[in-house]
Structure 1
Amino acid sequence: MAIVRVPTGVPGLDPLLQGGLVRNSINLVAGGAGSGKTIFAMQFIVEGLKKGEPGIYITFEEKKKKFYEEMLEFGWDLKKLEKEGNFAFLEYTPEQVKNILMEGGGIVESIIEKIDARRIVIDSITSFSLLYEDELEKKEADLMLFELIDKWNCTAILTSQDESRDGHTISAAIEFEVDSITMLYHVKQKGERIRALEVLKMRGTKIPSKTLALDITTKGVVIDPKSVVNF
Structure 2
Amino acid sequence: MTDDDWFERALDEEDDENASERETEGRADDERRAADAETDADTGTDTDAGVDTATGADGSSGDGALGDDADPFGGLGAGTDAPEGNPGRDADGPGSGGGDPFGDFGAEMSGASFPGGSPEGGGGGGFDASDGFGGGDAEGFEAAEAEFESDIARVDVGIEGLDEMVLGGVPERSLMAVVGSAGTGKTTFALQFLNEALDGGGKAVYITLEESEDAILSTAEEKGWPYREYETEGRLAVVAMDPVEMANSLDSLRDDISRLVTEFDADRLVLDSVSLLETMYDHPSKRRSEVFDFARSLKRAGVTTMLTSEASTADPYTSRHGIVEYLADAVFVLQYIRPSNSRETRLGVEIQKIRDANHSRETKPYEITDEGISVYRQANIF
TM over 0.5: yes
**Which of residues 346, 353, 361 is equivalent to 1:194?**
346
8 Å Cα contact 1:165-1:185 kept in structure 2: no
1:212 maps to 364
Mean Cα deviation higher: 68-77 or 153-162: 68-77
| Amino acid corresponding to residue 179 of structure 1 in structure 2 | D
**Which of residues 42, 66, 85 is equivalent to 2:234?**
85
Give 5+ residue unaligned stretches, structure 2.
1-147
Give 5+ residue unaligned stretches, structure 1.
none
- Assess, with a 3 A threshold, how the Cα gap between structure 1 residues 128 and 185 changes in structure 2: closer, same or farther: same
- Assess, with a 3 A threshold, how the Cα gap between structure 1 residues 194 and 165 changes in structure 2: closer, same or farther: farther
1:179-190, aligned counterparts within 5 Å? 179-188=329-338, 190=342
1:28 maps to 177
8 Å Cα contact 1:104-1:148 kept in structure 2: no
Compute the displacement of 1:214 (Å). 0.6
Aligned residue for 1:57, secondary structure, equals strand
**Which of residues 246, 269, 277 is equivalent to 1:120?**
269
Compute the displacement of 1:100 (Å). 4.8
Aligned residue for 2:271, secondary structure, equals strand
8 Å Cα contact 1:100-1:107 kept in structure 2: no
For residues 20 and 170 of structure 1, what CA distance do their matches in structure 2 show? 27
1:103-182, aligned counterparts within 5 Å? 103=252, 105-162=254-311, 163=313, 166-182=316-332
Compute the displacement of 1:70 (Å). 2.2
- Assess, with a 3 A threshold, how the Cα gap between structure 1 residues 164 and 202 changes in structure 2: closer, same or farther: farther
For residues 135 and 103 of structure 1, what CA distance do their matches in structure 2 show? 22
8 Å Cα contact 1:123-1:158 kept in structure 2: yes
Compute the displacement of 1:105 (Å). 2.7
- TM-score normalised according to structure 2 size: 0.57
Compute the displacement of 1:89 (Å). 0.5
Compute the displacement of 1:103 (Å). 1.6
- Assess, with a 3 A threshold, how the Cα gap between structure 1 residues 139 and 199 changes in structure 2: closer, same or farther: same
CA RMSD of aligned residues (A): 1.9
For residues 359 and 293 of structure 2, what CA distance do their matches in structure 1 show? 28
2:17 maps to none
1:203 maps to 355
Mean Cα deviation higher: 186-195 or 214-223: 186-195
| Amino acid corresponding to residue 219 of structure 1 in structure 2 | E
| Amino acid corresponding to residue 134 of structure 1 in structure 2 | H
Aligned residue for 1:89, secondary structure, equals strand
**Which of residues 32, 38, 43 is equivalent to 2:187?**
38
Aligned length, in residue pairs:
230
For residues 360 and 371 of structure 2, what CA distance do their matches in structure 1 show? 23
Q: Comparing both chains, which one has the higher relative contact order based on Cα–Cα distances under 8 Å and sequence gaps of 6 or more? A: 1
For residues 276 and 320 of structure 2, what CA distance do their matches in structure 1 show? 13
For residues 227 and 249 of structure 2, what CA distance do their matches in structure 1 show? 25
Q: Which structure carries more strand by proportion?
A: 1
8 Å Cα contact 1:14-1:20 kept in structure 2: yes
Aligned residue for 1:105, secondary structure, equals helix
Deviation string 1:172-194 (CA, Å, 9 cap, x unpaired) is 44222211111011345644331
Mean Cα deviation higher: 186-195 or 69-78: 186-195
8 Å Cα contact 1:24-1:150 kept in structure 2: yes
For residues 28 and 223 of structure 1, what CA distance do their matches in structure 2 show? 18
1:222 maps to 374
